Amino acid sequence: MKYAYIEDGAVTNLIWLYPHNESDFPNAVRTEDLSIHVGDTYEDGSFYRDGEKVISDLERAQSKLAEMESTVSDMTAALAELGVTDDE
């Protein structure tokens, strides 16, 4: 399993550990499915890059989908104002 090695709140290394040995490395934090890089920061249980929280690919895709759904909804409303409906 992949871990980020944290020193003074910053990721200084990435290591792979057998979870049973996790306690041997108290500064190591599981990265789960996040794409963490050396230089990222770690604060209050979350990783950050350039001041923005690092999110998983799944969370990123869900966010983009929500944006697209909102855009489609806005476009549908605008078309309805012009009298265009789904029936046409």
Per-residue pLDDT reduced to its tens digit, 20-37: 999 999 999 999 999 999
What integer is the mean pLDDT of 83-88? 72
pLDDT of 83 above 70 = yes
Angstrom CA distances, 38 to 20, 60, 67, 77, stand at: 24, 21, 30, 45
8 A C-beta contact, residue 38 and residue 15 = no
- Residue 55 is given by DSSP the state -
Per-residue pLDDT reduced to its tens digit, 46-64: 999 999 999 998 888 888 8
pLDDT at 29: 97
8 A C-beta contact, residue 40 and residue 54 = yes
In this prediction the pTM is 0.69
Residue 12 CB neighbours (<10 A)? 12
* 79 vs 12, residue with greater confidence: 12
Candidates 29, 34, 80, 42; CA nearest to 59 is: 34
